[in-house]
């Protein structure tokens, strides 16, 4: 496994993902859990944010403290399902800008099809967190990161809640330097490109469309 791949083994994340997997979990709870898991994962994914010295006056004395350095952040969910993770990350970094990349997988070829892209103007100067709960074949993640690279981004991290080994391999081969964070690593893809055991179609479960 590429050293840039982090698979979480935290019991809180594992427990919440187990509830997501249950087909009886409804959309309301599913959305809440996706958001919570994104926040827990984001906490770790942002562990290396740079700090700088800032002077403050406490009620007792003047002192120098550490605060996040001017480094700017952007969150880019892959539509639709990535939207479910946005608020969890914004809870941690409320001033982050949010871009959107719209992709859907062609059901026959499994190739990602683009239908929307709107990014902050200065995205190339930001640390970009790309969000998608599912990393299956990896086609959508690679396509999204290709867009970002074309826009000059060179500081990108990718976060997914459930990943298939095939997707991790494809993404880390395409972009070995991009850190990949996965809530868990599942067994495989099935013949329709769904993650096994997975949780089904994340977009449909978040938005209740099936
Ligand atoms: C799902 C998921 C990812 C993609 C992963 O999106 O949210 O974007 O599939 O598959 P891949 O790794 O094989 O590309 P989907 O195409 O179902 O669109 P949706 O989010 O609008 O439902
Ligand atoms: N997209 C999903 O939403 N689920 C999968 O299992 C694979 C791709």
Q: Quick: pLDDT tens for 119-155.
A: 999 999 999 999 999 999 999 999 999 999 999 999 9
Strands 134-135 and 126-131 come out as: unpaired
Instruction: Return the pLDDT at 105.
Output: 87
Taking 80 as the threshold, does the pLDDT of residue 70 lie above it?
no
136 lines ligand 1 (CB under 6 A): yes
Report which protein residue has its CA nearest ligand 1's atom 6.
104
Looking at 109, 122, 177, 209, which residue is catalytic? 109
Instruction: Return the pLDDT at 210.
Output: 82
pLDDT tens-digit profile of 16-58?
A: 999 999 999 999 999 999 999 999 999 999 999 999 999 999 9
Is there a catalytic annotation at residue 201?
yes
Residue spans of alpha helices (H) in the chain: 11-21, 27-45, 83-90, 139-150, 165-174, 202-207
Q: Residue 144 and residue 208: Cα distance in Å, rounded?
A: 24
Residue 182 vs residue 106, higher pLDDT: 182
pLDDT tens-digit profile of 83-120?
A: 999 999 999 999 999 999 999 988 889 999 999 999 99
Q: Residue 74 and residue 119: Cα distance in Å, rounded?
A: 9
Instruction: Return the pLDDT at 26.
Output: 97
The kind and range of the H/E element at 188 are strand 188-189
Whole-model pTM above 0.85? yes
Q: Residue 174 and residue 145: Cα distance in Å, rounded?
A: 10
Instruction: Return the pLDDT at 3.
Output: 84
Instruction: Return the pLDDT at 71.
Output: 67
Cβ atoms of residues 14 and 33 within 8 Å: no
**Best residue for ligand 1 mutational test, from 30, 133, 140, 172 (most atoms within 8 Å of Cβ):** 140
The token pair that represents 119 in the structure block: 């990014």
């Amino acid at each position: 496994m590429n050293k840039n791949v982090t698979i979480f083994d935290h019991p809180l994340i594992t427990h919440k993902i187990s509830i997501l997997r249950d087909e009886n979990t409804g959309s309301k709870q599913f959305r809440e859990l996706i958001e919570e898991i994104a926040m827990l994962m984001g906490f770790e994914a942002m562990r290396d944010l740079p700090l700088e010295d800032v002077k403050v006056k406490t009620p007792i004395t003047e002192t120098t403290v550490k605060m996040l350095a001017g480094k700017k952040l952007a969150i880019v969910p892959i539509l639709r399902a990535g939207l479910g993770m946005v608020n969890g990350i914004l809870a941690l970094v409320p001033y982050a800008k949010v871009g959107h990349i719209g992709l859907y997988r062609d059901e026959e070829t499994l190739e990602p099809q683009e239908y929307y892209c709107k990014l902050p103007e200065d995205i190339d100067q930001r640390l970009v967190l790309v969000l998608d709960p599912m990393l299956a074949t990896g086609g959508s993640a690679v396509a999204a990161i290709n867009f970002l690279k074309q826009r000059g981004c060179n500081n990108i991290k990718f976060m997914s809640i459930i990943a298939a080994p095939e997707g991790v391999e494809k993404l880390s081969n395409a972009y070995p330097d991009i850190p990949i964070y996965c809530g868990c690593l599942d067994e495989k893809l099935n013949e329709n490109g769904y993650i096994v055991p997975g949780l089904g179609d994340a977009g449909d479960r978040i938005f209740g469309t099936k």
